[in-house]
Structure 1
Amino acid sequence: MITPRRKLILRVLLGSTATLPVFLSSPLYAQENGTPIQLQQITVESGEGGEASATGPVRGFVAERTTTGSKTDTPIEQIPQAVSVVGREEMDDLGAQKVDEALRYTAGVFAQPFGPDTDTNWLYIRGFDATQSGTYLDGLQNFSYGFGGFLIDSFGLERIEVLKGPAAALYGGANPGGMVNYISKRPTGERLRYVEAGVNSFGNGYLGFDIGDKASDVVDYRVNGIISGGDGYTDFSEDFRGVISPSITWKPDEATKFTVLANYTHLDETHNGGAFLPYFGTVVDAPFGKISRKANFTEPDIDSYDREQASIGYELEHTFENDWTVRQNLRYGFSHVREHSLYPFGYVPFSPQPVDGNYDLSRINFRHDTTVNTFLVDNQLQGKVTTGAIEHTLLFGVEYKYFNIDQMQQTGGATPISAVDPVHGEPQGPMFDPYIDQNLKRNQVGIYAQDQLRFGDGWIVTLNGRYDYVSDKSEGLPAYRDHEGRASGRFGVGYEFENGLTPYASVATFFNPVIEALGDGSQARPETGQQYEVGVKYRPEAFDGLITASFFDLTKQNVVTGPSTAREQIGEVNSRGFEIEAQANITDAWRVTAAFTTYKLEVTEDADAAIIGNQPYLVPETQASLFAQYTFLDGALEGLQLGAGVRYVGSSYADAENQYKVPDVALVDLKLGYEKDNWGVDLNVTNLFDKDYVAGCQTIFSCGYGEGRKALLKAHVKW
């Protein structure tokens, strides 16, 4: 809940946004006591305008290298799976303020399936949920379970990388559809002074900064942070967020580099509405019509969300005289989340449609208190050897993951509330005894090896193998022990032609440890499966761009199915489809990103024979997007930026039986900006025509409205 003191801070933020452009253009900004001050923008380039490293800034919309697909600094076209990279400039051009907003134009990714959610980045890749087991920060997993996990603010990120398909052969258990790797901003050794402020049309403002420099000949530093808050799109929703991320790099010589990365995040909010709503009254009319997309059916005097989160880690790298390199990446993380809210669950009495003219919604009174501690360390040895005509880049690794969650979840008494004319303030409760009160510890050890082979003036072969041992121990309610060991692998082959064309093919197996009790009292086995992928990557010579097209056939086995009281593990889901994505800096003036995804999602095995052959609910089978931006480079309009995009999200189903469909939608976004010397102003508008639509439904009891039109005005200065 936002206090008067925080409201004062927000007023300052909103005021700073309005006055920053005036301040930047005033004579007072350029001189002091009559003495001119020359402010120059510093542009750092590597080689022929390329990236300095696979973790550094991306030029425009087109990345060149990645570590996500191989754990080595590798050109994207040499990775035998589809890879997408969204750099800092693209995030800013799109006006993205969250990770899920930044990935709305990325092939194969379905973001915000339940509409906007300020405390979670919901992401599906190739039809499978990556939210809990498929997100990584600087190559180390951000695993979450229940409500215990980590929220990464996009302002502190240099780039967001998506590896499509299984990643278990490199990273251990992970989402089969793919993984998202967040790359943090880190010291560059160059002077950096950047301040940005903005406010959106809902009255939510922010102030961010990014400062870096050399502290000495061997030490570089960087610190960035953001403070934000205000009202949300729906009734009662409001939040207050503070993030700071300091980092420091020590480089005593060319062979050794040691970087410390830290973060502190605070978030408290009143939850947004527009979610957990019934299919009848959102997707289709109820007898009274539609539920307002701005309605919020929580109790604002009770509703609360509080997150305290911190992490610290390092990346150590040393190269020996024989050119073999050792690396150790390590991170400790802590998160404490307390949450209390009321949310709808159908109409009274927990019915998908109104009964006997009663338009009241049933509600669930939910509360949890969750603490998470994580420790991760990845040790790597990398080197090159030559055997005859074959060049090998070898990678060996040992990784340890520790995850500890101490959680309590409970429900309580809740009164119904009118879907048409909600009245808030009735007493709620009492809270019932917890149905979960446990301390769960997971330990995982993985050993892996990789060989990247090059031969024959263009052939590229990638071989991966990994074995993981996972053990879970839970004390309390529920209590259990479980352990499992599994191997996973990847084989990829490609040929790099001189004209920039690289066709490739790969096969990969995976496993994903599952924390869930089955109906017979046993613990679920890991999900397993395999993917076959063929594709082509093209880096044209005529302009700076990367085009990737791929066909894939992905099967997930050991899927847990059935009602919550009788869960079984005999399910199987297949995702088979096609993706194409183009990212281009066509000229210095034109930037374009375009994507098209279509696949067939099918339940191929299930305890309920009636749904075999059906499409899983929530996820659309077709998506398409296009965003283009033009910058005037000279003349009277020099510095003016015009951008526009369209996002198409295909239809999906709201139920496993495929009886209720969620319609498709096309949304238009707009960008208007102006950049001059060391300052700039941008206006981003998403859902320009304010379309009223449902983003997705997870059963007919839980549908979420997509966000209405949002305008974001922001200004920045650098010196």
Structure 2
Amino acid sequence: MTTMPRRAITTLLLATTSLVSTGGLALGQDQLLLLDTITVEAAGAGGAGLTTSSGSKLAIAVARIPQSVSVVDREQLDALPGTAKLDETLRYTAGVNAGTYGTDADTDWYFIRGFQAEQTGMFLDGLPLYQTGFGTFLNDPFLLDRVEVLKGPASALYGGANVGGIVNMVSKRPTGERLRYTETGINNFGNAYAGFDIGDVNEQGNASYRLTGKVSGGGWETKDADNLRGVLAGSVMFEPTDATSITLYGSYMRMDLDHTSTGFLPYEGTAIDRPGVGRIPRDFNYGDPGQDLYDRRQATIGYELEHDLNGDWTIKQNLRYATVSLNEEYLYAGGWAGPTELSRFGFGHDTDVRSFNADTRIEGTFDTGPLSHDVLLGLDYKNYFIDQELGFSFASPIDVLNPVYGVPLPALSTYRDDTIAMQQTGIYAQDQISFGPLIATLNGRYDWVETQLDNQMPAGGLSTSSQGAFTGRIGLGYEFDNGFTPYVSYATSFNPSLEVDDNGGLFDAETGRQWEVGVKYEPDFFDGLVTASFFNITRGNVVGTVPGSAPAVRAAIGEVNIKGAELEAQINAGDFKILGGLTYLDAEVTTATGTVPVGNTPVQIPKLTASLWVDYTIPEGMLQGVSIGAGIRYLGASWADEANALEVPAAAVVDAALRYERDDWGVALKVSNLFDTSYVASCLSPTSCGYGAGRTATLSIHKSW
């Protein structure tokens, strides 16, 4: 497999380089995107001057949303180092801890406000990409226009969702203009990519299209790791009348890889030295390159419809069908088996997922005396199906100092074989009321959920679950003339669980609630947005992994409370762009079952994280067009065990970028972890820790026509 990706990538790079030199396909990245999800009022430093619907499903200013919202726009995605994966794009976002399991080519990992969020907190164009178990969806940032983060409960708008917040990815869509863009690059591990982004509009101006694609492959930080991935996304927008528009879209991804292995290592030997070993090398491959299987096939198809009824009222519908098929078999480490040997176990799964989502809503404005109303009424439906078979076996250990590969693996024994079907229907309403500078936001939603588990193991059977829940949000803000908007809000969440307990049944749905108070500041003397917030979140019916269990056993562990504070600044001051974030989390287990001690802090949650990125563009002279950027990310200490006896040390990582833009082409050198700092990103348990990514330098060139 190693030879094939490298040959393919070499051919693609040569072809793309030829396009760049002779004039081919390109797209300027600064065009206005007319999207239902986001409307750009002014180009800014990742959020200033923007309106977003992620926090309300109405296109309103960020400052008017009674919760903290962060936006990573296309300009940031192009400027920041290490944005080849979704979780990497969130490294400079306050309240988000990304890459918690280290380098992982096939999964995005992130926590929002201290809660793991990638499974029930991932959305694409306002519709959920629900995930459970190993039925994950993967999204390439090259296909995105922006990434938005709504922090805190979102169930009043979206139904089942992570209590800590959600990430909404906004896809590239037709712009109504002619677009031509190509880009190619390669990093220090030999992983290269080539991408294109094209679009056009007909002569009448009522139909346009956009086609975006990328292929990437080559090495990773782990020895003998390799991958080949191709993605293609297309969309066509029709405007049959001035009042109606419909966008049809689809995407396809195919991925084949040999695994990266910087995660799932023991605490001793990563966070601290192990006698006779020291630290396990960060590029150590504890698997077996000759016995490594991973195959992903992923597709989406859908449409976005909008019809203006009378100038004041609009009806919209978003509909999408998504499917992913994953077949995987690999060796994982499971702690120390001897002085220098890691125990290992084989794991494999065959997973198929089908997901259908539809969201229909009507929105409008009207006045009642001195009160102005922005109203939203909606109905959404989610149908999720997963068919999964999981296997496990114990395997021979591997010596860290003298690894031997090619040892035959024992056959996997199936320990889980089931299908789960979930249907969720929700009705919701929102009224944002303005009385001069005073803003009141009222949300209410009720969900009905039907779940069926068909356990096909010999001792299994059929079980069903019916649940219903009301969730809501109340927010109050006041817009001062000087740009300050203080706000306060209370929101609740409801998140049905598809986790299976030891008895073959489903766990109770998670619940959550949050108080948040803060202030948003949009100054009138420079382009920027500063947000400070304080919050108190409680998550109930928490399900976690029993430490040391192999295969992993899931159990209810109780209730977790997190009190925290965030400070985030996104500033565009002349030739300087500044991104800054500071997050403080005080997490505590408030009620518990099993072995979890009440009063302790859950694993993987650092008390303090911080980041600062400064970018300067030289405006004139011989170096006009040169941009220099540098940033630092601080990851505070966290715990590796429930007893809070094993501490994962804090770490600081430096990033840098050097870019040159001239006319319709540009070149960039972007480096994440500039000084190659070795650190542990987090530990799920004393036998499952993940190294943070080492130095990754990427050289790229792009051209537009």
How high is the TM-score relative to the length of structure 2? 0.95
**Separation in structure 2 between the aligned mates of residue 20 and residue 279 of structure 1, nearest angstrom:** 48
Aligned partner of 2:166 in structure 1 is 179
Match 1:471 to one of 450, 461, 476: 450
Deviating more after overlay: 248-257 vs 222-231: 248-257
Query: CA offset at residue 254 of structure 1?
Result: 2.3
Aligned partner of 1:108 in structure 2 is 95
Aligned partner of 2:438 in structure 1 is 459
Match 1:270 to one of 216, 233, 258: 258
> Identity of paired residues, percent?
47
Aligned partner of 2:46 in structure 1 is 62
Match 1:529 to one of 512, 531, 535: 512
Query: CA offset at residue 518 of structure 1?
Result: 3.8
Query: CA offset at residue 287 of structure 1?
Result: 1.1
Aligned partner of 1:147 in structure 2 is 134
Residues 1:674 and 2:674 aligned together:
no
Structure 2 letter corresponding to 1:599: L
Residues 668 and 686, structure 1, Cα contact 8 Å, conserved in 2: yes
Distance 1:686 1:575, change over 3 A: same
Aligned partner of 1:444 in structure 2 is 424
Structure 1 letter corresponding to 2:416: I
**Separation in structure 2 between the aligned mates of residue 322 and residue 56 of structure 1, nearest angstrom:** 18
Query: CA offset at residue 13 of structure 1?
Result: 4.0
**Structural mapping, 1:239-250, within 5 Å:** 239-250=227-238
**Separation in structure 2 between the aligned mates of residue 703 and residue 583 of structure 1, nearest angstrom:** 32
Match 2:389 to one of 381, 403, 408: 408
Structure 2 letter corresponding to 1:689: F
Distance 1:684 1:386, change over 3 A: same
**Separation in structure 1 between the aligned mates of residue 105 and residue 625 of structure 2, nearest angstrom:** 33
Aligned partner of 2:585 in structure 1 is 599
Residues 1:367 and 2:338 aligned together:
no
String of CA shifts for 1:134-184, please: whole Å, max 9, x gaps.
000000000011111211111100000000000000000110000000000
Residues 46 and 76, structure 2, Cα contact 8 Å, conserved in 1: no
Match 1:687 to one of 654, 662, 673: 673
**Separation in structure 1 between the aligned mates of residue 357 and residue 622 of structure 2, nearest angstrom:** 54
Aligned partner of 1:197 in structure 2 is 184
Query: CA offset at residue 567 of structure 1?
Result: 6.2
Query: CA offset at residue 521 of structure 1?
Result: 5.8
Residues 1:331 and 2:331 aligned together:
no
Aligned partner of 2:620 in structure 1 is 634
Structure 2 letter corresponding to 1:677: D
Aligned to 1:246, the other structure's residue is in SS state strand
Residues 1:238 and 2:226 aligned together:
yes
Residues 358 and 380, structure 2, Cα contact 8 Å, conserved in 1: yes
Distance 1:93 1:366, change over 3 A: same
Residues 1:483 and 2:466 aligned together:
yes
Aligned partner of 1:35 in structure 2 is none
Aligned partner of 1:421 in structure 2 is 402
Gap regions ≥5 residues in structure 2: none
Aligned partner of 2:488 in structure 1 is 505
Aligned to 1:414, the other structure's residue is in SS state strand
Residues 27 and 180, structure 2, Cα contact 8 Å, conserved in 1: no
Residues 32 and 175, structure 2, Cα contact 8 Å, conserved in 1: no
Aligned to 2:395, the other structure's residue is in SS state coil
Aligned to 1:113, the other structure's residue is in SS state coil
Query: CA offset at residue 41 of structure 1?
Result: 6.6
String of CA shifts for 1:84-121, please: whole Å, max 9, x gaps.
00001101100311111110000000000011111111
Aligned partner of 1:300 in structure 2 is 289
Superposition CA RMSD, Å: 2.0
Query: CA offset at residue 419 of structure 1?
Result: 1.8
Gap regions ≥5 residues in structure 1: 31-38, 349-353
Distance 1:665 1:384, change over 3 A: same
Query: CA offset at residue 43 of structure 1?
Result: 6.1
Structure 2 letter corresponding to 1:525: D
Distance 1:216 1:412, change over 3 A: farther
**Separation in structure 1 between the aligned mates of residue 144 and residue 554 of structure 2, nearest angstrom:** 39
Match 2:695 to one of 681, 684, 709: 709
**Separation in structure 1 between the aligned mates of residue 632 and residue 18 of structure 2, nearest angstrom:** 30
Residues 1:697 and 2:680 aligned together:
no
**Separation in structure 2 between the aligned mates of residue 568 and residue 154 of structure 1, nearest angstrom:** 34
Aligned partner of 1:164 in structure 2 is 151
Query: CA offset at residue 77 of structure 1?
Result: 0.3
**Separation in structure 2 between the aligned mates of residue 45 and residue 163 of structure 1, nearest angstrom:** 22
**Structural mapping, 1:575-614, within 5 Å:** 575-587=562-574, 589-608=575-594, 611-614=597-600
Distance 1:53 1:333, change over 3 A: closer
Aligned to 2:305, the other structure's residue is in SS state strand
Aligned partner of 1:351 in structure 2 is none
Query: CA offset at residue 517 of structure 1?
Result: 3.5
Residues 1:207 and 2:182 aligned together:
no
- Residue correspondences, number: 690
Query: CA offset at residue 519 of structure 1?
Result: 5.0
Residues 353 and 384, structure 2, Cα contact 8 Å, conserved in 1: yes
Query: CA offset at residue 709 of structure 1?
Result: 0.8
Query: CA offset at residue 45 of structure 1?
Result: 6.1
Distance 1:210 1:44, change over 3 A: closer
Residues 37 and 170, structure 2, Cα contact 8 Å, conserved in 1: no
Structure 1 letter corresponding to 2:464: R
Structure 2 letter corresponding to 1:333: A
**Structural mapping, 1:342-421, within 5 Å:** 342-348=331-337, 354=338, 358-421=339-402
Aligned partner of 1:36 in structure 2 is none
**Separation in structure 2 between the aligned mates of residue 566 and residue 258 of structure 1, nearest angstrom:** 46
Residues 1:555 and 2:503 aligned together:
no
Residues 38 and 53, structure 2, Cα contact 8 Å, conserved in 1: yes
**Separation in structure 1 between the aligned mates of residue 654 and residue 15 of structure 2, nearest angstrom:** 29
Residues 44 and 527, structure 2, Cα contact 8 Å, conserved in 1: no
Residues 97 and 155, structure 1, Cα contact 8 Å, conserved in 2: yes
Residues 45 and 52, structure 1, Cα contact 8 Å, conserved in 2: no
**Separation in structure 2 between the aligned mates of residue 276 and residue 126 of structure 1, nearest angstrom:** 23
Residues 1:9 and 2:37 aligned together:
no
Aligned to 2:216, the other structure's residue is in SS state strand
Distance 1:215 1:2, change over 3 A: farther
Distance 1:562 1:91, change over 3 A: closer
Residues 54 and 65, structure 1, Cα contact 8 Å, conserved in 2: no
**Separation in structure 2 between the aligned mates of residue 261 and residue 622 of structure 1, nearest angstrom:** 41
Query: CA offset at residue 42 of structure 1?
Result: 9.4
Residues 54 and 74, structure 1, Cα contact 8 Å, conserved in 2: no
Deviating more after overlay: 517-526 vs 239-248: 517-526
How high is the TM-score relative to the length of structure 1? 0.93
Query: CA offset at residue 576 of structure 1?
Result: 0.5
String of CA shifts for 1:329-353, please: whole Å, max 9, x gaps.
00001110000100100112xxxxx
Aligned to 2:366, the other structure's residue is in SS state strand
**Separation in structure 2 between the aligned mates of residue 524 and residue 512 of structure 1, nearest angstrom:** 11
**Separation in structure 1 between the aligned mates of residue 250 and residue 616 of structure 2, nearest angstrom:** 37
String of CA shifts for 1:247-300, please: whole Å, max 9, x gaps.
010012221110112110111100001211111111111112111111011111
Aligned partner of 1:225 in structure 2 is 213
Residues 27 and 197, structure 2, Cα contact 8 Å, conserved in 1: no
